[in-house]
Chains A and B, each alone.
Chain A
Amino acid sequence: MSLQLSRLLTDLGEKSSYDAASQCCRCGYCEAACPTYVVTGDETCSARGRNQLVRSLIEHKLYEPASAHDALHTCLLCGACTAACYARVATADIVLEGRRMLDAKTHWLAHLLSRLMAEHRGWLAFMLKAVNVAKRLGLTTLARPILRVIGLPGLALAEEHVQEAPLTFLYEVLRRRPWAAQPHWLYFAPCGPNFLYPRVGKATVAVLEALRGGGNFLDNDCCGLLAYNYGDVDDARVLARRNIARFEAAGGTGPLVGDCSSCVAFLKSYPQLFLSEPDWKMRAERFAAVVRDVPEVLSDASLPEADLPTTTYHDSCRACHGQGLKEGAHTAIRRLAGASYRELPESDMCCGGAGAYAFRNPGISDDLIKRKVGRIAATGARLVATSGTSCLIQLAQGLKKYYPECEVLHLSELAARAVASGRAVQGAKDGTQAGA
């Protein structure tokens, strides 16, 4: 039985889920911001509709509660509606509450994954590596029809979309390297960089060292977002407690930098998990206060310009809507790309990645990525940067399919290039001076 939060931390203070959902006055001003409404024109796929349905569920006003399933499960949880809403109604959290109410049982796969993440990371890593070896050998393609037959088409789609298959995971690399005794920052390795994109994590660490001196690796657990979104809230709490405790043991001072915007936004929302545990809530607040996302770190850093092809930027939803980092990200990318930068129209509209969304709702997801790639192609970009793992996966597969001339990289990777070339320039300069 999945537990509910029952109480939410909203922009208007702490409220019961019911009050939070009732704060929606149905004005409809969120509709133009809601990506699923924009592509379907169907009110069932709108933020307003979802809030009203959750409210109806709470009020027991639906004879067939199950009919709300699609409405709630087509939500991207992108939060664009909340940013557009005057009262900042927290639709994503409300939708999740609705899903938990509706789905008496967590899907076994989500449950299994979040248990593995929480309790048996060694096993998970082992299995993932086995899968990755198979993937490199091209064997996993064969699994696609089997997965579809056994009722896991999402996994088949995931196998198709995810192009990365690292054999060494980020935490293994980071554990082996030397760290500063007096760290100026801590690195939090989200699951995306950890298991799929080690190159992103390495880039982030390199940039942090160049900008802020020595730091340390928190050697953290999963942030808990997977459990929060698809599994049990209690599993998310277990992971949150563990990460908070580890952070406190590591000195309890920040900044604590992560490089997947969804994960970082969730770390910042830890206090909401502990509304009925004042002690943990306080610890979570201290923790959340020092968490930083990459766009935040880079926005006020003095970065050299990198030598980049025509570059544009896609705002990860949980950075721009979840944390209000749109301006920061754009400041950073403008500095990094200089004259090669092109503004992306609708840069803050979801690409349709959204965690497991792309695998569970392939139709809407594909409509969204097509729209996104169309906008990217219109800028003539050869490189698009972003800050979330889902976006990296989704954009990579979308670009491959519809606009293969362009590649996608994490913002950290661009910054790492800039830092490296800046160092080279600096080195050259020093050399000249020494020679003179």
Chain B
Amino acid sequence: MTKQDIALLRGSLPFGALLTGEAQLVVYSYDGASARGRPEAVALPGSADEVRRTVALCCQRRIPYVARGAGTNLSGGSVPLRGGVVISLARLNRILAVDTATLMAVVEPGVVNLKLQEELERTGHYYAPDPSSFRVSTIGGNIAENAGGPRCLKYGVTTDHVLALEAVMPDGTLERFSGEDAGPELMSLMVGSEGTLGVVIKAWLRILPQPAAVRTVLAGFPSVEAAVRCVSAVIAAGVVPRALEALDRVTVETVEAYRRAGYPATEAVLLIEMDGTLESVARETAAVERLVSEHGASEVRLAQRAEDRERLWEGRRGAYAACARLAPNVLVEDGVVPRDRLPEAVRRIREISARHGIKPALLFHAGDGNIHPNISYDERDLEETGRVKAAGQDILRACVELGGSLSGEHGIGTEKREAMRWLHSIRVLRLFRDLKGAFDPVGLANPDKMFPDEGGGAEDGLVRPERPLSAQARLLVEKVKAYAGQRRPMVVVGSGSRWKGVPPDCAELLTTGMNAILDWDKGNFTITVEAGVLARSLRTELASQGFYLRWPDLGGTLGGILASKAWSGLRQDVLGLRLILPDGAVADLGGKVVKNVAGYDLPRLVLGSWGTLGVIADVTFRLHSSARDIPACGEPKPFAAGIWQKRVKQVFDPGNLMNPWFHPTGLSPSSPKGSRPPFPERA
């Protein structure tokens, strides 16, 4: 940055809102992780317009910048690796509105999660995401990281509670995104993008009324396996606790040494908390009590009053504290595996720990397969730090090998960038990079985060279990490749329930051949199905075995339902999908785990894309153990692409080959009207 840059920034902000002293820069050079990078200036804007002006100036002067909330990030995501400007949003801390009639809160990004909770409590409401840092972390940071927390087992992570966003885009313009927008779902792309695609300056959040009753059960188990089996049994019994937490023996011993919480000295301890109406909670608690006993729990305690429940939670809440007192630093890893693989994950973590000579305390959000090994160390001891970090990486690798992910809620930041190669193919990593480039061509918004640089090291390091495509899907891939080679426009056709007919000159890609159930994981309540499967027949088959989709009764193929986003609530249950890209490459997006923040949220981006970004080959859903009657909704409307959707299209399908009529004027804003095929007839 030049002196002129500093002067311009200073001029665009109120007096005292630009910091440049050495000490002032040092305190913005870190977050909760170990990475360091010193900014050249720190901006403390006090209004959305000041944020916009700062970003616009950075864009104009080509200055890299990082938006920052409370700086509690555990993956180094808010560290300014390239210097430039840190834009602190701490002063944008107003709760703009709370509307209990529509169950919505409107907040600025610097609002601390706890402050929002306190405000909502006054009217008997709450905001579901509750990351452990909720006392200090900000809503803006929670959105950037797609934060979770114990409660997200039942209520979902941050993205499930964001209704709309206003963001300053990297070009300095303001843009609003909503979950109801037609077309590829950009709001989902923004949530969890770690500040690489823009700066959120306002958020519309879903709030919930507080439940009438809450009960907590604490149970000690003779083995982690027994505890995990019990967790699966609880969920199979139709109980969805609002929190389902586990601690291993090392954690319990560490906590007890610090503050006697009176936890049983067993191999694993489960904390299960139910909420809802008085009757449902009583019923669910009875079921849970029976199940934990059946699975060999040695000690079971029950609490209903708030202070008694708090006592049961004391050990869980004190776990991080206990580790933080053992040594100056704690590495908190954040791996996710399919729930039933937890025992194996624990076994492998123990092997890895023994190999590196470390002793992690394991904390699990057991209900969603999210493991947090807490490893205490002193960062001033370089040799120890090296071992701890190596162990952390090995643990993540093991999680990926078990079909899981690198991060459930902490994000990728700087610390896990290289590890992304284990989880994502070269093609998917390129998609991430290209999307970043499409939104931020010069690469100024939080650069060098989330995914590895191109080229550096062995690009293809995939260790995630391979899933072969079905013969039908392979056939379709070959077709796409052939048409793409001929630069021939293609039309994705399912059962023809939303449109029929194929425009002239277009090649037809019929998906109904892909109609197999690839993986029905009854223990994990997930299913992977090919896109040509008819929704109604799948529904019948699932119901016959006691599994349910919580959607309205929608007709047509699954692919069609997703591509047209026939119901906006779909986004809650889609965990992953495979997309045949317009050049014939296959992108494996998301996974089988219910919490996953490793990379941009592409599965949700594809929702509503109407086949313009690729052909959905198969999809992985979350299943439910009870049905919910959701009224049918109106027919989805095709979309007219906005500027950012056009840029997304450019990344996925630069030749505008798939369902090209959605972009009748071509992709470049300046290109003349192309002669694209007309829109097909509605069914």
Contact = CB atoms under 8 A, between A and B. Distances in A.
Contact of B26 (A19, A53, A70): A53
Nearest to A53: B23
A28 B328 contact: no
Given A25-B330, A28-B133, A41 B325 contact: no
28 contacts: A22-B328, A25-B32, A25-B324, A27-B330, A28-B31, A28-B72, A29-B133, A29-B135, A31-B70, A32-B70, A42-B19, A43-B28, A43-B42, A43-B88, A43-B90, A44-B23, A48-B27, A49-B26, A52-B30, A53-B27, A61-B26, A62-B22, A62-B26, A63-B22, A70-B23, A86-B321, A87-B324, A87-B325
Contact of B325 (A12, A48, A63): A12
Contacts of B31: 26, 28
Nearest to A59: B380
B72 A56 contact: no
Contacts of B32: 25-28
B24 interface: yes
A19 B329 CA distance: 12
Given A26-B32, A41-B88, A64-B22, A32 B27 contact: no
Contact of B44 (A41, A61, A71, A87): A41
Contacts of A46: 27
B358 interface: no
B325 A86 contact: yes
A106 to B, nearest CB: 21
Interface string A46-76: 1011001100100001111001111100000
Contacts of B24: 44, 67, 71
A281 B263 CA distance: 38
B132 to A, nearest CB: 9
Contact of A43 (B27, B110, B329, B380): B27
Given A22-B380, A41-B110, A86-B320, A62 B23 contact: yes
Nearest to B34: A26
Nearest to B132: A29
B462 interface: no
Given A28-B32, A43-B71, A62-B23, 18 more contacts: A22-B380, A25-B328, A27-B72, A27-B324, A29-B133, A29-B135, A29-B136, A41-B91, A42-B44, A42-B88, A52-B26, A52-B27, A52-B30, A53-B26, A56-B23, A63-B22, A64-B21, A87-B321
Contacts of B23: 44, 53, 56, 62, 64, 67-71
B93 interface: yes
A349 to B, nearest CB: 14
Interface in B625-662: none
B114 interface: yes
A29 B72 contact: yes
Interface of B: 19, 21-24, 26-28, 30-32, 42, 44, 70-72, 88, 90-91, 93, 110, 112, 114, 133, 135-136, 320-322, 324-325, 328-330, 378-380
The 4 closest A-B pairs by CB, nearest first: A86-B321, A49-B27, A41-B90, A67-B23
A24 interface: yes
Contacts of A64: 21-23
Contacts of B112: 32
A23 interface: yes
Contacts of A12: 325
A299 to B, nearest CB: 21
Contacts of B44: 41-42
A415 to B, nearest CB: 30
Nearest to A57: B23
Contacts of A67: 21-24
Given A28-B31, A43-B28, A62-B23, A86 B380 contact: no
A31 B93 CA distance: 14
A24 B72 CA distance: 13
Interface of A: 12, 19, 22-32, 41-44, 46, 48-49, 52-53, 56, 61-64, 67-71, 86-87
Contact of A25 (B26, B110, B329): B329
Contacts of B42: 43
Contact of B71 (A22, A23, A28): A28
A242 B380 CA distance: 40
A52 B29 CA distance: 10
A29 B72 CA distance: 8
Contacts of A68: 23
Contacts of B330: 25, 27
B370 to A, nearest CB: 19
A363 to B, nearest CB: 10
Nearest to A22: B328
A23 B70 contact: no
Contacts of B380: 22
A120 B72 CA distance: 50
A320 to B, nearest CB: 18
Nearest to A19: B328
A335 to B, nearest CB: 22
A43 B378 CA distance: 24
Contacts of A44: 19, 23-24, 27
A42 to B, nearest CB: 6
A271 B379 CA distance: 30
Contact of B328 (A23, A32, A48, A71): A23
Contacts of A19: 328
A405 B378 CA distance: 54
Contacts of B93: 41
Contacts of B110: 41
Interface centre among B30, B32, B136 (most CB of A within 10 A): B136
A37 B40 CA distance: 21
B624 to A, nearest CB: 36
A179 to B, nearest CB: 44
A87 B323 CA distance: 9
A262 B265 CA distance: 42
A56 B26 contact: yes
A70 B32 CA distance: 23
Contacts of A56: 23, 26
Nearest to B92: A41
B278 to A, nearest CB: 30
Given A22-B380, A53-B26, A62-B23, A28 B70 contact: yes
A293 B681 CA distance: 84
Contacts of A61: 26
Contacts of B320: 86
B328 A24 contact: yes
A66 to B, nearest CB: 9
Nearest to B28: A43
Contacts of A28: 31-32, 70-72, 133, 136
Contacts of A63: 22
A214 to B, nearest CB: 41
A255 to B, nearest CB: 28
Nearest to A44: B24
Contacts of A43: 27-28, 42, 71, 88, 90
Nearest to B74: A27
Nearest to B25: A67
Nearest to B90: A41
A28 B90 CA distance: 13
Contacts of A41: 44, 88, 90-91, 93, 110
Contacts of B26: 49, 52-53, 56, 61-62
A32 B324 contact: no
A70 B19 CA distance: 12
B184 to A, nearest CB: 35
A86 B380 CA distance: 20
A99 to B, nearest CB: 13
Interface centre among A12, A41, A62 (most CB of B within 10 A): A41
Contacts of A49: 26-27
Contacts of B28: 43
